[in-house]
């Protein structure tokens, strides 16, 4: 085993790259993505900026693939940071796929890396403001999402009843936040912290497509009406993640932080309440 500090990034897209640029200098970076092309392109950019990387093709929705990423990571040294910025959105996949990747996969990832994370380590799970648009759930549903074994999550009655992709995404992201709280109790015993970040609209290639696509008017109106009056950038999410993973963030664990320019506040109580009819 090489004797390095290791950073694992699942999902080598825009948000993930912004985070690792801030926390992976001098460490070995493992880029896991189900698109090896995406991982290799990210590795090339990062290597040209002085980072040391290896890549691995892995599907977040597969326990076998997650175990392969754990094996690749520990080969290089001790795992200091884990970032999950992989996920599928409501317009990208059917209900079963969203639940398999975003709900089940993220839960397996937390469970398996919670067994190897280094003392002083930290994880960030990228959730979404979308999970904050779901009303409060009954306590027994919260408990079930937080504490069920990953294998049992998709068998829960109220999860099996989900029949549209937006709900699947929202329940998955709510589950991410609750799992982070549950796992923080386990990760704490290893001296490690784990938190989630729920971004609003962040300009990435995907969001840029929306801004220039057929639904651009609705999308633009939502951004302009939000308290910040603009979308966010991957770098702003990166700055928040850097703080949470730094020595200054050691008293923060098991929590979720919204970074959405006030959009969620406006959705519930402000000018964006008109969205409740559709979201
Ligand atoms: N961009 C936004 O506005 C926004 C807002 C809220 C939440 N998010 C969340 O942020 C995360 C990253 O989004 P992004 O905007 O950086 O997207 P992105 O498309 O730039 O990156 C996502 C990466 O994840 C990979 N990926 C997708 N499914 C995977 C799977 N099953 N296994 C492994 N890799 C997989 C993709 O190949 C891609 O490289 C997602 O979880 C998304 O739900 C994004």
Q: Is pLDDT above 80 for 278?
A: no
pLDDT-above-70 percentage for the chain: 99
Per-residue pLDDT tens digits for 218-237? 889 999 999 999 999 999 99
- What confidence score (pLDDT) does residue 1 get? 58
- The torsion angles phi and psi of 5, rounded to 5 degrees, stand at -85, 135
pLDDT class of 38 with cuts at 50, 70, 90: very high
Per-residue pLDDT tens digits for 90-147? 888 999 999 999 999 999 999 999 999 999 999 999 999 999 999 999 999 999 999 9
Mean pLDDT of the chain: 96
What is d(CA 191, CA 241) in angstroms, rounded to the nearest whole number? 18
Known catalytic residue at 169: yes
- What are the C-alpha distances in Å from 250 to residues 118, 150, 152, 279? 14, 27, 31, 35
What is d(CA 159, CA 16) in angstroms, rounded to the nearest whole number? 28
Stated length of the chain: 279
Region 183-200 average pLDDT: 98
Separation of 88 CA from ligand 1 center, angstroms?
Answer: 6
- What confidence score (pLDDT) does residue 29 get? 98
Active-site annotation holder among 27, 173, 182, 267: 173
pLDDT class of 89 with cuts at 50, 70, 90: confident
Per-residue pLDDT tens digits for 131-174? 999 999 999 999 999 999 999 999 999 999 999 999 999 999 99
- What are the C-alpha distances in Å from 20 to residues 9, 49, 154, 190? 7, 12, 31, 22
Known catalytic residue at 182: no
Separation of 127 CA from ligand 1 center, angstroms?
Answer: 10
Among 174, 272, 162, 266, residue whose Cα is nearest residue 219: 272
What is d(CA 47, CA 110) in angstroms, rounded to the nearest whole number? 27
- What confidence score (pLDDT) does residue 214 get? 79
Q: Which residues contact 33 (CB under 8 A, 6 or more apart)?
A: 10, 11, 12, 13, 39, 42, 55, 57, 58, 86
Ligand 1 near 11 CB (within 6 A) = yes
* Domains of the chain with bracketed CATH: 4-202+233-263 (3.40.50.720)
Separation of 183 CA from ligand 1 center, angstroms?
Answer: 22
- What confidence score (pLDDT) does residue 279 get? 64
Region 189-218 average pLDDT: 89
Active-site annotation holder among 27, 34, 104, 169: 169
Name the residue with tokens 């990747």.
101
Q: Is pLDDT above 80 for 57?
A: yes
Provide the 10 A C-beta neighbour count for residue 170: 23
């Amino acid at each position: 085993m090489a004797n390095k500090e290791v950073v694992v990034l699942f999902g080598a897209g825009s948000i993930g790259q912004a985070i690792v640029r801030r926390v992976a200098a001098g460490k070995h970076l493992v880029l896991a993505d189900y698109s090896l092309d995406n991982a290799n392109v990210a590795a090339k950019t990062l290597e040209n900026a002085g980072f040391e990387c290896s890549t691995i093709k892995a599907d977040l929705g597969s326990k076998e693939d997650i175990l392969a990423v754990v094996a690749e990571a520990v080969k290089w040294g001790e795992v200091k940071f884990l970032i999950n910025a992989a996920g599928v959105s409501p317009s990208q996949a059917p209900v079963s796929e969203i639940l398999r990747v975003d709900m089940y996969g993220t839960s397996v990832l937390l469970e398996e890396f919670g067994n190897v994370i280094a003392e002083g380590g930290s994880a960030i799970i990228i959730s979404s403001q979308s999970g904050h648009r779901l009303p409060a759930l009954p306590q027994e549903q919260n408990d079930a999402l937080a504490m069920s074994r990953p294998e049992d999550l998709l068998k829960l009655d109220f999860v099996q009843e989900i029949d549209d992709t937006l709900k699947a995404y929202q329940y998955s992201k709510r589950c991410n936040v609750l799992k982070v709280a549950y796992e923080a109790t386990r990760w704490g015993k290893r001296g490690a912290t784990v938190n989630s970040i729920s971004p609003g609209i962040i300009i990435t290639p995907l969001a840029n497509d929306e801004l220039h696509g057929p639904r651009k008017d609705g999308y633009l109106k939502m951004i302009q009406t939000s308290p910040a009056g603009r979308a966010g950038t991957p770098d702003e999410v990166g700055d928040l993640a850097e703080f949470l993973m730094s020595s200054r963030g050691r008293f923060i664990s098991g929590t979720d932080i919204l970074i959405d320019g006030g959009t969620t506040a406006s959705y519930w109580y402000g000018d964006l309440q008109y969205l409740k009819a559709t979201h």
